[in-house]
A and B are shown apart, each in its own frame.
Chain A
Amino acid sequence: MPKHILSGLNYLAAITLRREGYLQKDIAKWLGMDRSTVSHYINGRNISLDSIETAETISKFCPHDFLQMTNVLTKDTGKTRIIVKTLMKRKFNPKIKDSCIGCGLCVDTCLMKAAELNNLKAQIDSNWCCGCRMCESRCPTNSIEILEV
Chain B
Amino acid sequence: MVTNIKATEDKNVSIKREAEEKRELCFKDEKCIGCGICEQICPLEAIELGPVGAIVRGEVDASKISIDENKCVLCGMCSVVCPVEALDLIIDGKQIKEIEEYPKLIRSITPEYDYCVYCGACDTVCPQDAIKVMRQLPERAKLVTGEIEVDKDKCISCGMCEDMCPAEAIYLVKNIPTSSNFEIASDIVVDKDKCVYCGICKRICPEDAIKVVCKVCPYGEYEIEEAEVKGDLILNEDLCVNCGWCQETCPKDVFVVEKPFEGELIIDQEACQGCKTCIEVCPCNVLSFPKPSEPGEIADKLYKDEKYCIYCGACQNVCPVSAIEVKRSGMNITPIKSKAWQKAVESLKETLHKPKTKAESGGK
Using a CB–CB cutoff of 8 Å, the interface residues on chain A facing chain B are 98-105, 107-110, 113, 117, 119-121, 140-141, 143
A-B pairs with beta carbons under 8 Å apart, 28 shown: A98-B338, A98-B339, A99-B340, A100-B338, A100-B340, A101-B43, A101-B73, A101-B77, A102-B76, A102-B340, A102-B341, A103-B73, A103-B74, A103-B75, A104-B21, A104-B23, A104-B73, A107-B20, A107-B21, A108-B21, A109-B2, A110-B20, A119-B337, A120-B337, A120-B340, A121-B340, A140-B44, A140-B73
Within the assembled complex, what's the spacing in Å between the Cα atoms of A141 and B71?
Answer: 11
B2: contacting residue among A99, A102, A105, A140, CB under 8 A? A105
Using a CB–CB cutoff of 8 Å, the interface residues on chain B facing chain A are 1-2, 17, 19-21, 23, 43-44, 73-77, 91, 101-102, 336-341, 344
A138 to chain B, nearest CB (A): 8
What are the nearest 9 A-B pairs in CB distance? A108-B19, A98-B339, A103-B73, A103-B75, A120-B338, A119-B337, A101-B75, A108-B2, A140-B73
Within the assembled complex, what's the spacing in Å between the Cα atoms of A88 and B91?
Answer: 33
B31 to chain A, nearest CB (A): 23
* Chain A, residue nearest B75 (CB): A103
* Chain B, residue nearest A106 (CB): B20
* Chain A, residue nearest B46 (CB): A140
Q: Please state if B101 and A119 are interface contacts (CB–CB under 8 Å).
A: yes
Q: Please state if B20 and A120 are interface contacts (CB–CB under 8 Å).
A: no
* B76 partner residues in chain A, CB cutoff 8 A: 102-103
Q: Please state if B21 and A102 are interface contacts (CB–CB under 8 Å).
A: no
Within the assembled complex, what's the spacing in Å between the Cα atoms of A121 and B336?
Answer: 11
* Chain B, residue nearest A141 (CB): B43
A104: contacting residue among B1, B20, B337, CB under 8 A? B20
Most buried by B among A103, A109, A143: A103
* B23 partner residues in chain A, CB cutoff 8 A: 104
* A120 partner residues in chain B, CB cutoff 8 A: 101-102, 336-338, 340-341
Most buried by A among B1, B2, B20, B336: B20
Within the assembled complex, what's the spacing in Å between the Cα atoms of A120 and B17?
Answer: 17
B338: contacting residue among A102, A109, A140, CB under 8 A? A102
A71 to chain B, nearest CB (A): 13
Within the assembled complex, what's the spacing in Å between the Cα atoms of A140 and B4?
Answer: 14
A108: contacting residue among B17, B44, B339, CB under 8 A? B17
Q: Please state if A101 and B338 are interface contacts (CB–CB under 8 Å).
A: yes
Q: Please state if B20 and A108 are interface contacts (CB–CB under 8 Å).
A: yes
A27 to chain B, nearest CB (A): 26
Most buried by A among B17, B19, B76, B340: B340
Within the assembled complex, what's the spacing in Å between the Cα atoms of A69 and B75?
Answer: 31
